[in-house]
Structure 1
Amino acid sequence: MKYLPTLINSTLLPVIALSIGFTIISLFQAETLFWLQDKSWLPYPLLGIAALIASQFNQSRYFYACLLWLLLFTSIDAPSLLPQPFSPNTLILMLTGVTSVLIWHTDKSLRLSNLILTSMLIAGIAALIAWVLNSAVLTANPVYQRSSHEYAVLLPWLAQHFSLPEACLYALFFASAMVKTFVSPRLSHSLLAVSMVCLVIISQRFSLPLLAFAANLFAIMTVTVVLLNSHKMAFKDELTGIASRRALMHFTQSLFNNYSIVMADVDHFKSFNDKYGHDVGDQVLRMVAQQLNRVSQGGKAFRYGGEEFTLVFPGKNPEQVIETVDALRESIAQYAMVIRQPDRPKRKPKAGQQPKQATSSKTVHVTMSFGVAFKNKQVSFESALKQADGALYKAKKAGRNTVKIA
């Protein structure tokens, strides 16, 4: 159940909303897209800017996708500049297939070697699709003829729009895209999946204004997603998933005065890390971050660096937050963390089957020390942070697993 909110927020809602919106617009394109009749030039700068921004933020999948959309639009809008031997529907199917592969593709630097390899991969996929659609061996095969007839009888509404090879390819592409989108629910995957839906709609209700609208929409959404991904990378801590030190600096700049700041540190973390290994140390940091992120009283948790964390309580003085911080300290100290053993079974036992016991199991308790300080007009953020750090040092000297106020 914990997986469902992430799936809905980052996958289902964007896919459903954008798909429905584009479908409605395509159904009434004569009324809604008339303003694009004399603006066929607009996708060129928008897609170019989107590709440039994607390249600057090292998100190569969107860089390639924008260039491919640009090639598709140019080949249809200006065939004299970029002649093509295929029909628009075949080109759209090719782009759909390449997009389904880009969803699985890992963002890599745009070095010459990567550009060449990816270009070869894209060209190979396009060539394979063209061969499947135009292969005389395939279309003349008796098995194919019989299957095509059965397909037309069983699914007449689908056969009116797609040939059997086209329907099979689209089904394959969408199955591949959906598997990746649901296994790894990210907005990046959702946007590429939505673009595939738009391409299918365009192939059946084709018009240049509709294609231009889809290209403009894809370019704008690409820039939005690239910036959102970059913001997440800059302001989210990759290991723990909570806000990073950079986010702390930006957050406190917006608060001006009168807030409590708390410095927290995992007790004996270095010896713990040396004893159990860095993987277990990462487990500890994730567990601690999860507990701190549940802070109440309007507080916000940040990872300051290493095993240090920071809590900020806007509009609260230390006396108002001391009980909340102490409750956090207690919840962390009482949390029994089971260390994952190397011989732990990789799969859950089947129903009625006795689980395999690990040769050894270890449960550990982690404690943290906290220092609280107050930021007001007379105290700068740097001074308040130093005071909180001094209070943290007092908590360490007092035996750890305690809270001290500066």
Structure 2
Amino acid sequence: MNKMAHLIVIGAGPAGLSAAATAAEQGLPVTVLDEFTEPGGRMPGQYHEEGSKGWWVGKHVSDELITRCSELGVDIRCGVSVHGMEYTTTWEISTSCGLFTADYVLLATGAAEIPVPLDGWTLPGVMSIGAAQVMTNVHYVKPGERGIIVGMNVLSMTIARELSVAGVKVAAITLPCTNPLAGAAADPTASAKLLLQLSGLAPAAWMRAGGKLAAAMRMEGLIARCYPHRGFRLWDIPVRLRTAVLSVNGQDRVESVTLVHVKPDGSPIPGSERVEPADFVALSGGLYPLAELAAVAGCKFVYSPELGGHVPLHGERMETSLKGLYVAGNITGIESGLVAMAQGRLAAASMVHAAGLGGAKGEQRVQEAIREVDFTRKHALIQFHPGITEARTQLYQQWEQTCGSGV
């Protein structure tokens, strides 16, 4: 199967579908490739409160984008795995369904979960927090009757809220026990800092105000030292910052977990072990950019902890170091779905303008899209890492110093 298209979008998530619809509206033919059986990415399983705006329901947003793409003639092909990319006079995309070629390519491959190894994690009933989300919100199957979430970060807290709303019993959110692979995930101080970034999602006004104040005063160290071992309840879920999972127990499946109290530095307190019944355990180590295809293509990379790890070097217009190759969404750094959608629209505006289809207003549309991304990021309630704005400014400066100047 050989398919000529002006634009190929790899990834049918929020960034990819938003880019496809925007590009198609401006007359750029678009083909979307995705390895999953249905478009939408992780959106169908996501929902959260957006302050006074009410609930953001990913399934509704996904359906609207898919319908819009269909109306505009976007060719969405699911079940297609991309395993190679090479630029000659055009981009050649090697897939499980043959070779595709295009003048422009957008990588919107999203992110992947970071595993959290611990004793007993191979037992049936142990899963990633994302798997628990998909089971509950997409397939409407409870992951279990009583579960423990291991890892305190933006991902675990937002999905814990989703599970609670869906009627799934979460007995506690805890830390992993200190081990060589756990890193900062087992550190109460680092986890407290991440929790303060989520204060805007707290159910009570006093929690939101107190969280913002504590974050501004950098009180995460004090919080870790003074935090009670019994924790506190958030959405009726015990959040235990000073408790870690020592092991997952069971014969043929998860039956319980062994918990241990920890010191402010994350080290276990001898003699504080106890067994908690559970039939599922959800592990949450956060997310990292899924950027292997960018590496295969030959992109330059930079490392940024604030953006989630190694990301393709790209400019403010979402262009990479390679001609005709653009990026959008979590491959550029871990942020919310709303930011990914805005980035997708920006990348589309940039490619349409580069292709000469934007007319006299092409540059104006690009600048408006840049401002939209900045506004969306500034007002996003969900912030995966502190310092995202500063990290992106440094990234764009580095791109200008290298690719922007033609070096």
Structure-2-length-normalised TM-score: 0.22
Structure-1-length-normalised TM-score: 0.22
Greater relative CO (CA pairs within 8 A, separation 6+):
2
Larger Rg: 1
Give the number of the structure whose residues are more often strand, by fraction.
Answer: 2
Give the number of the structure whose residues are more often helix, by fraction.
Answer: 1
